[in-house]
Amino acid sequence: MSAITALKQENIFVKLLNVLTMMASRPSGLIGLFLVGFHIVLAVLSPVLVPYDFTAMDSQAILSGPSARHWLGTDNLGRDILTRTMLGGQQALVVTSVATVIAIAWGGMLGVMLGLIGGWLENIVMRLVDAFLAIPWILFLLLIVSVIGLGLGVLIPTLAFFYGIPVVRMSRAATQDVVALDYITAARARGESRTTIVKKELLPNVLDVLLVEAAMRWSWMLLAFSSLSFLGFGVAPPTADWGLMISGARSFMSFAPWAVLAPVVALSSLIIGINLSADALAKALGIDRAQKTPV
């Protein structure tokens, strides 16, 4: 590793540490980081921490309330709710994290290129983006999942595609603000290629916006993923998943509310944590989310 590469990596680490410090300096940001970190650590360690097998059924304790044996009670099949809740975030975090990275990558890059090139190509693509945004996402997702089938190989690219479309508009708007600046004009005058301008001038200057956008899209993808599971189009039973747990227990809410309460609290706390972290990240990077174009 060269000295220059090592220096660049050190600078990136220092910048990341500074951003995290600024985020944690705000009470809301500290709470958000704690909630997100807690769920990530729990997802990693839960396989060795859970008290039972998530598929194990106890016919003697069906829909039993919280007790010393089952701290959060059991569901309608006698499965331990604490175990399934602890494991329920694994699929959601993996699927939505990968899908978010893909969505930000393709949507951000396309938006940057459109903002730089402009012209008739930009107009055509943006009209297509507007057309997609005018139709409720759930209809597209349900149609694709119904036709192609279930599985992570379908859910991840589907979520990445539909949630990457609004990123195109956001990154294009951020790029247009940068393209109008003098140093972009100077780069063009020097004869630099579009690839060089995107890599050296545009991406570093729209990265902050894309990072905040990624945090926002992540929370919305979690809701979408859990909604699909709730409707029966996400992960298949008996997988431990929050959406599946809520769907399976909704019929017993009147006399066994603990079966719904645990996954709802888990999912809500993660989404709240991501949104608080996104707000803190936006403020740390100097981005006003209220001024962003709604998508």
pLDDT for res 36? 95
At 157, list the tokens: 């690219």
Could you tell me if residue 3 is inside a domain? no
Could you tell me if residue 42 is inside a domain? yes
pLDDT for res 12? 67
SS3 74: strand
Bond preceding residue 238 cis, omega within 30 of 0: yes
Judge contact between 33 and 270, C-beta under 8 A: no
pLDDT for res 153? 82
Q: Nearest 5 degrees, angle CA 13-CA 18-CA 21?
A: 125
Residue with tokens 């050190």: 10
pLDDT for res 290? 52
CB atoms within 10 A of CB 97: 16
pTM of the complete model: 0.87
Could you tell me if residue 71 is inside a domain? yes
Q: What is the mean pLDDT of each run of 10 residues along the chain (295 residues)?
A: 45 78 90 95 92 86 85 88 92 92 94 87 89 80 78 85 91 87 78 78 86 91 89 82 89 85 94 94 77 43
Could you tell me if residue 275 is inside a domain? yes
**Rounded-to-integer distance, Cα 128 and Cα 37, Å:** 37
Number of domains in the chain: 1
Could you tell me if residue 192 is inside a domain? yes
SS3 135: coil
Specify whether the backbone of 250 is left (phi greater than 0), alpha (psi in -120 to 50) or beta: alpha
Could you tell me if residue 38 is inside a domain? yes
Q: What is the CATH number of the domain that holds 35?
A: 1.10.3720.10
The residues pairing with 254 across neighbouring beta strands, listed in sequence order, are none
- Find how far residue 38's CA is from the centre of its chain: 16
pLDDT for res 11? 66
Q: For residue 262, what are the domain limits?
A: 14-291
Could you tell me if residue 86 is inside a domain? yes
Could you tell me if residue 122 is inside a domain? yes
User: Could you tell me which residues come within 8 angstroms of residue 78 by beta carbon, excluding any fewer than 6 positions away?
Assistant: 57, 58, 59, 60, 61, 62, 64
SS3 63: coil
Phi first, then psi, for residue 255 (nearest 5°) are -125, -5
pLDDT for res 4? 42
**Rounded-to-integer distance, Cα 72 and Cα 294, Å:** 40
DSSP 240: -
